[in-house]
Amino acid sequence: VPHDANATVLTTLPFPELLRQCPAAGSASQGATPWQWSAQNGNALMDAHEQEVKLWTDTKDRRKFEDLSDLYAIIKTTEHLETAYVRDAISQDEYTEACTKLISQFKTAETALRMGGFLDNIESFIAKYRLDCPRALERLVRIGVPATVVHNTTNRKADSVNVAQTVQSFITVMDVLKLNIRAVDEIQPLLSEMMSSLTQVSGLPPNFEGREKIESWLRVLNAMRASDELDEDQARQLSFDLDRSYSSFMAFLNKQ
């Protein structure tokens, strides 16, 4: 997305229209061969062909294109970050910090554009501007948390703390649902915290059902708007899944 409102843009006007806008070129071309006209009036023709087009006309338009530019940059940066992480070009701590910041910035930019009526969905934005960013799409839209949170890659020095935080996270989210709180922007952060602490528990099987359930719900919530709310069926299913996951987690702890 261009940043410069005064950038010069080449337009393709019909040849007669170009002649009309270049009186000197038009009169000079009378009786001249195409080759002579081109040599004598090329500069005049280019002056008419290169017309200055302003990207915005008011403050609202300016804010729109600036927000679109920010969103574009966030997606591209996330794609490069994910690639660097896969290639082991950055440390896990550096990746987690940068990715968490980008996810937060993405949600802020997306919300602003949606509220302004400038964005329908991310998929259409990516298609319109021909963004080839599958890793960023997975991280920002479908998962919504860093890869180090989804996959257990952290140290185990404070494992007892991680266990306590995980138990507390389960209880908190289940209590929130019992209080009939359904807003996405209230539930998603709690599930994200739960996933973060759960994946740091030492010895937890990679295929632990609770982790898969939470990741699945994170995908659902990240596909919704912050102002959306879970319907009755969704809230009931989430409560059921959390209750089962909590029971499985406690059973795992009792075996340790």
* Domain shared by 31 and 76, yes or no: no
* Domain shared by 248 and 172, yes or no: yes
* Residue 14 DSSP label: -
Residue 90's pLDDT is 92
Q: For residue 137, tell me if it sits in a domain.
A: yes
Domain that holds residue 27: 8-52
* Domain shared by 157 and 241, yes or no: yes
Contact in structure between 81 and 102 (CB atoms under 8 Å): yes
CA dihedral (113, 117, 121, 122) positive or negative = negative
* Domain shared by 251 and 157, yes or no: yes
* Higher-confidence position of 135 and 15: 135
Q: Say whether pTM exceeds 0.75.
A: no
Task: Summarize pLDDT for 239-248 with one digit per residue, the tens.
Answer: 999 999 999 9
Task: Summarize pLDDT for 81-135 with one digit per residue, the tens.
Answer: 999 999 999 998 899 889 988 988 888 888 888 888 888 888 889 888 899 999 9
Report the C-alpha gap between 179 and 191 in whole angstroms.
Answer: 16
* Residue 139 DSSP label: I
* Domain shared by 99 and 130, yes or no: yes
Which residues partner with 9 through β-bridges?
A: 51
Report the C-alpha gap between 45 and 38 in whole angstroms.
Answer: 9
Residue 115's pLDDT is 80
Alpha helices in 13-91 (DSSP H): 15-21, 23-28, 34-49, 59-86
User: Where does a domain end: 92, 120, 148?
Assistant: 148
The number of folded domains in the chain is 3
* Domain shared by 139 and 211, yes or no: no
Report the C-alpha gap between 39 and 34 in whole angstroms.
Answer: 9
* Domain shared by 43 and 102, yes or no: no
* Domain shared by 188 and 244, yes or no: yes
Q: For residue 1, tell me if it sits in a domain.
A: no
Whether residue 158 is predicted with pLDDT greater than 70 in this model: the reply is no
* Domain shared by 190 and 213, yes or no: yes
Task: Summarize pLDDT for 165-187 with one digit per residue, the tens.
Answer: 888 889 999 999 998 999 998 99
Q: For residue 226, tell me if it sits in a domain.
A: yes
> Which range, of 66-75, 161-170, 181-190, averages the lowest pLDDT?
161-170
* Domain shared by 66 and 81, yes or no: yes
